[in-house]
Structure 1
C-alpha cells in the first residue's frame, strides 16, 4: 500500500506530506483546490514485501532524477516496479475503456493468460521477421538479373582499372615533380655547385678551415676546437653534394609520362565520383558489391530455407492462436458474469455487459494479428429491451463511470495491485447511485487500499481516512495544502458538500445521517465484499 506521499514545488503545491491508511481514503475539497494535482503527482511518481521508498525529482530544465530506496534508478526501472504497486483510474482510464482496441488487453488481463499471449506475440514477431525477409529476397529475385548485371558491370570497371589505396595521391605527387623538372634541375645544379663544384665552394672553404685549425693547434694546443667534428661536417657536405648530383642525373622531362598520369587520374576520378567521392570509399564499395554478388547468387538457397522456417513457425503460431482463442472464449463468459454482477450492484439492475468476438480464431480460418487471431469489443445494454451497443457509443457519463468502476473492481480481484486510485469516479452520478458507488468503493477497500477524489457527500461518507484539500494565497502566490480531518470536521466537510457556502445545521444533520449509514454498512458488508470472500475461499 501507499503509506506516505511528500510533494515539493509541484504545480500549486509548495510542500506537503500526506499519510494514507488502509481501506478507503477520501480526498475532498472545493473545485480548483488542487485535489487532482495529488493524483497527478502519484501518477508521475509511478509512471514509468519490504518497505519501498521512491523519490523522483524534476528540475526546472525537465531532467529527472529517480531514487528507489536511496539508490539511483531509471524511469524504466520505476515503471516496471509500479506495475504491481498501484493502479490509477481517472479520465484517461475512461478513454482507454472506450477504445475497442484495448478491450482484448482487458480480457487477457482478467483471464490471467498474459504468459500465453506473450508466447504468441514472440512467435508472431518471429513470423513477421521471416515474412519480411522473404519479401525482400523475392523482390531481389524479381530484379536479380538487372541488379546482377549492374553490379558485375561496376565491378568490371573497377577491376579493369585495378586501383590501389593511396594511388591517386601518389600520382598527383609524381605529376607535380614531372611538371617542374626544369626548375628542379636548375636548383639542384646550383646547390651542387655551391657545395662542391665551383671555385671557392663551401666544401673547399671548409677544407681550408680544417687545415688552418690544424696548423694553429700544432703550435698552440690551447685552441679548444674538435677537429673530428669539423671533419664530420666536411664529410656531410660531400655526401649532400653527391646526393644532389645523383638526383639531378635522374631528372628527365617526360611528357608521355605526364599524359599517362593524367589519363590514369581521370579514370580514377571518374569512378570515384560514381562510388563515394574518394578512392577509399570506392574500394569499400567494391568489397560491398562483391558481397552483394555472393548474396544474390545464394538467394535461392536462402529463400528455400526461410520458407521452410516460415512453415514451421506458422504451425506453432496457429497452435498458440487457437489455444489463446479458447482461453478468451472461456474468460469472456466469466468476465460477462462478473461485470454483470458489479453493474447490477451499481444501480443498473437491467444492464447487461457483453464480450463480442467480431472476428474469432477457428481451426478452419485464422487471421493473425499482433495480439492473436481474435478481434474483441465490449458491448452494453443499459436498460431492458435495448439492443446492446458498443461502449464507444455510450453517451451517459454516469453509465460509463459505473462500467469503469465495475471493470476496475473485477480486475483488481484478479491482479496483485495493492493500491487503486480513483479520480472522477463520481462523474455523471448522484443521489442513490452515488451512495451505491460509495458502498462499492468500500467493498473494494476490503481487499485493496483505495484512494478516491470525490465531490459527492454520499461517497465521502464511506471514507475511513478523510483528507481535505484547501487553497490559500500567501504573498500573491496560490498554494494547496492537505489536512486529515477528524469526525467532527468530517461532519462540517460533508455538510459543505451537501449545502452551499454556509453549512447549516440541517446540512450537518444530514451529514451525520450519511456517516452513520456508512458506518452501519461497514459493519454489514455488501454483496461485493461477500463475493470476493467467496471467490478467495474457492481459490
Structure 2
C-alpha cells in the first residue's frame, strides 16, 4: 500500500506531502483544484510516460516520491530480488522529470528503467480512470482479462498454443517468401550460380591471407633479411666471436669459484645459460641463412593470389573469412531454389501439421476458457446486481475465428442493462451511470485477480446519484477492506463512507497558484459532504443531511 506521497514542482503543485492510510481514502475539492494532478503524480510512480510540460513553470525539474509498504507482497519482493534491488519492509519509488524531458526512475535509491519500474509497480498499485475504462470496453482486451481472472490455471496451455502459433506463422511467412521468389527465380539463380562458381574456383582457404602476407613480406625483404642474418651469424662464428669469449670467461669463473668454495656458483650457472642460448641462436640463424632463398616467380604468384582475394573482398563487400561463409550460403540458396517445388511441398505439409496441432491445443484452451468464463459471468452478475442493475444480463460471447495469436475464438463481454433489451457490446452503453457501475464491477473482480494491494479510482462514479451512488460507495468500501482504495469523487455518499477524507484546494501565494491538501475530520468533514450535496451554498439543512449521511455510513461500516 501507498503510505506517503511527496510531490515537488509538479504542474501547479509547489510542495505537497500526503500521508495516506489504509482503507478508503477520498479526495474531494472544487473543480481545477488539483485532484487529478495528484493522480497524475502517482501515475508517474507506476511508469506513466513523462513530459517536460509536467515540470512547474520556472523550475528545472519535478520530483515525485512514494513510500510503499511491501511487507505482505511476495510478488514485489521476488522482483526486487531478481533485479538485485535492496529490500526492506518498505519500498521507496522516486521519479525525477527534467525540464529537458529526460526522466529518471529509482527504486530504493537504485536507478531502474521505465519498463522495470512498470514491471514492479503493476504488482502493487493500479489506477482506474477514463483511459482504462476505454481499455476495459474494447473487445480485443477481453480475452486477456479472462486469462487474468483464471490466475494461471491454464497458463501452460496458453504458452503451448502461443509457441505453436509462432511456428505456424513462421512457416507461412517462409512459404510466402519462397512463392514471391518464384517470379524472378531464373535471374536470381543465374546470378548466385555465377557468384558461387567464381568463388569456388578461387579455392579460398581459411587462414591463407595471413600466411600470404608473411611470405610476401619475407620475399620482398629478402636482401635486407639475408644481410642481417649474415651479420648475426658472423657475430657468433667469426674469430674473436662472442661465444668463444663467453666460453673463456666461464673457464676463468670456474677457477674463481673453486678457490672461493662455490661463492660464484649461481653466477656461473647463469653465464653457462647465456653460452648455450647463444649456441642455439647461432645454429638457428645459420639454418635460416642457408635456407633463405629468393624466388621471384613464387613472389609474383603470391602477390597475384593476394590481389585476387582483395578483388573479391571489394566486389562482395566482405572479408576473406566472410567470403568462405558466403560460398556455403550461396550453395544452400541454390539447392533451395533448384528444389523449390520440393521445398514448397515440404513447407505446406509442415504448415498443415502445425495447423492441426493448433486446432487441438486451441480446442483444449477454449474448453478451459469457457469453464472459467461461467465463473467470471457469475461474479460480474453478482457485482452489478449489488450496484442496482438487477434487471441486467451479462454474457461472455465466444465467436469462432481462424486460429489467431490468442486462440480459436474471439471473446467479448456483452451486456443487456435492462430487461427486454438485446445484449450489446460494452462500448455501446449509452448511460454514463450504467457504464460507471459496470466498470466498478469489472475493476472489483480484476483487482482481486491481479493480487494488487492498492487501487486508485479517478471519478469512476460519474453519472450516478441517489441509491445507486450509495451502492457504489458501499462497493468501494467493501474493496477497501481487502486492499487500499484511493478515490477522487464528487459523490457525498462516497465521501461519507470513507475512512479518510482529503480536501484538495488551490490558492494564490506570492503571485503563484499552489495546491494544498487537508485531512478533514469532524465538523470539517460534515461541511465538505454538505458542500458536495448542495453544490455551492451550504445550509443548516444540508449540514444536517451530511451529518446524517456520515452517521448512517458509520453504522454501515460497523
In 2, distance between residues paired with 1:485 and 1:124? 56
Instruction: Specify every segment of 5 or more residues in structure 1 that has no aligned partner in the other structure, as ranges.
Output: 167-263, 361-365, 524-539
Which residue number in structure 2 is paired with residue 297 of structure 1?
335
Secondary structure of 1:58's match?
Answer: strand
In structure 2, which of residues 495, 501, 505 is the aligned counterpart of residue 470 of structure 1? Answer: 505
RMSD across aligned positions (CA): 3.4
Is 491-500 or 436-445 further displaced after alignment? 491-500
Tell whether the 8 Å contact from 2:196 to 2:331 is kept in structure 1 after alignment.
no
* CA shift in 2, pair 1:129/1:423, >3 Å: same
Tell whether the 8 Å contact from 1:148 to 1:293 is kept in structure 2 after alignment.
no
Which residue number in structure 2 is paired with residue 149 of structure 1?
190
Report how far residue 331 of structure 1 moved.
1.5
Secondary structure of 2:2's match?
Answer: coil
* CA shift in 2, pair 1:93/1:78, >3 Å: same
In 2, distance between residues paired with 1:281 and 1:413? 58
Which residue number in structure 2 is paired with residue 244 of structure 1?
none
Which residue number in structure 1 is paired with residue 20 of structure 2?
20
* CA shift in 2, pair 1:398/1:276, >3 Å: farther
* CA shift in 2, pair 1:506/1:133, >3 Å: same
In 2, distance between residues paired with 1:110 and 1:453? 26
Which residue number in structure 2 is paired with residue 535 of structure 1?
none
Tell whether the 8 Å contact from 2:530 to 2:543 is kept in structure 1 after alignment.
yes
Report how far residue 317 of structure 1 moved.
3.2
2:90 maps to 1:51: yes
In 2, distance between residues paired with 1:501 and 1:395? 29
Secondary structure of 1:52's match?
Answer: strand
Report how far residue 123 of structure 1 moved.
2.8
2:432 maps to 1:397: yes
Report how far residue 334 of structure 1 moved.
1.2
In 2, distance between residues paired with 1:282 and 1:445? 67
Tell whether the 8 Å contact from 1:422 to 1:453 is kept in structure 2 after alignment.
yes
In 1, distance between residues paired with 2:480 and 2:161? 35
In structure 2, which of residues 529, 532, 551 is the aligned counterpart of residue 497 of structure 1? Answer: 532
Which residue number in structure 2 is paired with residue 176 of structure 1?
none
2:95 maps to 1:60: no
- Structure number with larger C-alpha Rg: 1
Which residue number in structure 2 is paired with residue 410 of structure 1?
445
Tell whether the 8 Å contact from 1:151 to 1:289 is kept in structure 2 after alignment.
no
Report how far residue 135 of structure 1 moved.
2.9
In 2, distance between residues paired with 1:503 and 1:152? 91
In structure 2, which of residues 361, 380, 383 is the aligned counterpart of residue 342 of structure 1? Answer: 383
Tell whether the 8 Å contact from 2:200 to 2:327 is kept in structure 1 after alignment.
no
Normalising by structure 1, report the TM-score: 0.70
2:124 maps to 1:85: yes
In 1, distance between residues paired with 2:201 and 2:368? 66
* CA shift in 2, pair 1:45/1:279, >3 Å: closer
In structure 1, which of residues 110, 115, 119 is the aligned counterpart of residue 149 of structure 2? Answer: 110
In 1, distance between residues paired with 2:416 and 2:438? 11
Report how far residue 129 of structure 1 moved.
2.1
Report how far residue 342 of structure 1 moved.
0.8
Secondary structure of 2:383's match?
Answer: helix
* CA shift in 2, pair 1:15/1:143, >3 Å: same
1:232-381 residue pairs with structure 2 within 5 A?
288=326, 291-298=329-336, 300=339, 310=351, 313-357=354-398, 359-360=399-400, 367-381=402-416
Which residue number in structure 2 is paired with residue 4 of structure 1?
4
Report how far residue 140 of structure 1 moved.
3.8
In structure 1, which of residues 121, 130, 135 is the aligned counterpart of residue 176 of structure 2? Answer: 135
Normalising by structure 2, report the TM-score: 0.68
In 2, distance between residues paired with 1:507 and 1:439? 21
Secondary structure of 1:31's match?
Answer: coil
In 2, distance between residues paired with 1:474 and 1:518? 37
Per-residue deviation, residues 153-188 of structure 1 (Å, max 9, x unmatched): 45668899999x99xxxxxxxxxxxxxxxxxxxxxx
In structure 1, which of residues 474, 492, 516 is the aligned counterpart of residue 551 of structure 2? Answer: 516
Tell whether the 8 Å contact from 2:502 to 2:520 is kept in structure 1 after alignment.
yes
Tell whether the 8 Å contact from 1:155 to 1:286 is kept in structure 2 after alignment.
no
In 1, distance between residues paired with 2:431 and 2:547? 31
Which residue number in structure 1 is paired with residue 80 of structure 2?
none
In structure 1, which of residues 70, 73, 88 is the aligned counterpart of residue 112 of structure 2? Answer: 73
Report how far residue 122 of structure 1 moved.
2.9
2:465 maps to 1:424: no
In 1, distance between residues paired with 2:388 and 2:455? 22
Report how far residue 379 of structure 1 moved.
1.0
Question: How many residues align structurally?
Answer: 419
Structure having greater relative contact order (Cα 8 Å, sep ≥ 6): 1
* CA shift in 2, pair 1:117/1:287, >3 Å: closer
* CA shift in 2, pair 1:285/1:398, >3 Å: farther
Tell whether the 8 Å contact from 1:462 to 1:518 is kept in structure 2 after alignment.
yes
Tell whether the 8 Å contact from 1:26 to 1:454 is kept in structure 2 after alignment.
yes
Secondary structure of 2:414's match?
Answer: strand
Report how far residue 476 of structure 1 moved.
2.4
